[in-house]
């Protein structure tokens, strides 16, 4: 199975992607996690991406498309994959369409007034990419691997606003794009985490 998770920053794409990828035994591909790892490893790609990420802008399509093209050819993608945070522009969606056929695009809907609180309280694991929220996770270490959690620089309020504007302008048009292609599955993301997972599983089983 090949899936795309669409939705604004803070919608719960990463949280749900981890669960769904495990359930269907497919690779979880988060372009955000990949870029953060490139930055940590001080690669050329990381250097190219950093200034865009820090400003809450999208990394140029040319950089991202090549990265995803290589990634989906790896062995762990043989059984399928879940793209979390890609595509984010029509050009990326067109490029992906040239590479492979996607089964479903899951659009996780959350009212915009909820997103800032979700993002500003997010704490991330640097090692496994798991996301927690300060209101529901008191410890400052990852439950899965024990690493010390951190707050992403781009999750600070100054940058969050621009990320939401960029989402509306560049990524939200993909909802209609995939609707027209008969791929869209819309899920209410404004429910408890387990309920969102159930809604996705039910939608995929239809
Ligand atoms: P995205 O990958 O779409 O940016 P995340 O999965 O990282 O979103 O979730 C953003 C923040 O919201 C995290 O702190 C996460 O713990 C929290 N979160 C995710 N899903 C829910 C939910 N259904 N209800 C409340 N908080 C959530
Ligand atoms: P979130 O989960 O909050 O939506 P991500 O971790 O997916 O954020 O992405 C963080 C940042 O990485 C984005 O704001 C953007 O700068 C960059 N990025 C990630 N995926 C893409 C993509 N497909 N195209 C362009 N930039 C991307
Ligand atoms: Zn971890």
Catalytic residue among 2, 36, 88, 118: 88
pLDDT 10s digits, 161-175: 999 999 999 999 999
Domain count, the chain: 1
- Let me know if residue 49 belongs to a domain: no
Q: pTM of the prediction?
A: 0.97
- Let me know if residue 10 belongs to a domain: yes
Q: Which of 5, 13, 15, 156 to mutate to test the pocket of ligand 1 (most atoms within 8 A of CB)?
A: 15
- Let me know if residue 169 belongs to a domain: yes
* Residuewise pLDDT in 10s, the chain (206 residues): 999 999 999 999 999 999 999 999 999 999 999 999 999 999 999 999 999 999 999 999 999 999 999 999 999 999 999 999 999 999 999 999 999 999 999 999 999 999 999 999 999 999 999 999 999 999 999 999 999 999 999 999 889 999 999 999 999 999 999 999 999 999 999 999 999 999 999 999 98
CATH of the domain at 118: 3.40.50.300
- Let me know if residue 139 belongs to a domain: yes
- Let me know if residue 36 belongs to a domain: no
- Let me know if residue 19 belongs to a domain: yes
Q: Which two tokens stand for residue 6?
A: 């669409």
Taking all residues of the chain, what is their mean pLDDT, rounded to a whole number?
97
Ligand 1 pocket, 163 CB below 6 A? no
Catalytic residue among 2, 118, 122, 123: 122
Beta bridge partners of 185: 106
Residue 158 sits in which domain range? 2-26+79-204
- Let me know if residue 22 belongs to a domain: yes
Q: Where are the alpha helices (DSSP H) in the chain?
A: 13-24, 31-40, 44-55, 61-71, 90-99, 112-120, 157-166, 173-180, 193-205
- Let me know if residue 58 belongs to a domain: no
Please indicate whether residue 163 is annotated as part of the active site.
Answer: yes
């Amino acid at each position: 199975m090949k899936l795309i998770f669409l939705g604004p920053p803070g919608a719960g794409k990463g949280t749900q992607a981890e669960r769904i990828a495990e359930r269907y035994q497919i690779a979880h591909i988060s372009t955000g996690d990949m870029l953060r790892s490139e930055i940590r490893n001080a690669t050329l790609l990381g250097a190219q991406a950093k200034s865009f990420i820090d400003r809450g802008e999208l990394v140029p399509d040319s950089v991202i498309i090549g990265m995803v093209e290589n990634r989906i050819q790896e062995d762990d993608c043989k059984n399928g994959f879940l793209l979390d945070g890609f595509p984010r522009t029509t050009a990326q969606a067109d490029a992906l369409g040239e590479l492979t056929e996607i089964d479903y695009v899951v659009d996780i809907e959350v009212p915009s007034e909820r997103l800032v609180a979700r993002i500003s309280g997010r704490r991330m694991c640097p090692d496994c990419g798991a996301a927690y929220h300060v209101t529901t996770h008191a410890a400052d270490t990852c439950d899965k691997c024990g690493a010390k959690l951190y707050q992403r620089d781009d999750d600070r309020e100054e940058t969050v606003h621009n990320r939401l504007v960029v989402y509306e302008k560049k990524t939200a048009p993909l909802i209609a794009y995939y609707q027209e292609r008969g791929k869209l599955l819309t899920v209410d993301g404004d429910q408890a985490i387990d309920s969102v997972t159930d809604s996705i599983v039910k939608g995929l089983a239809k």
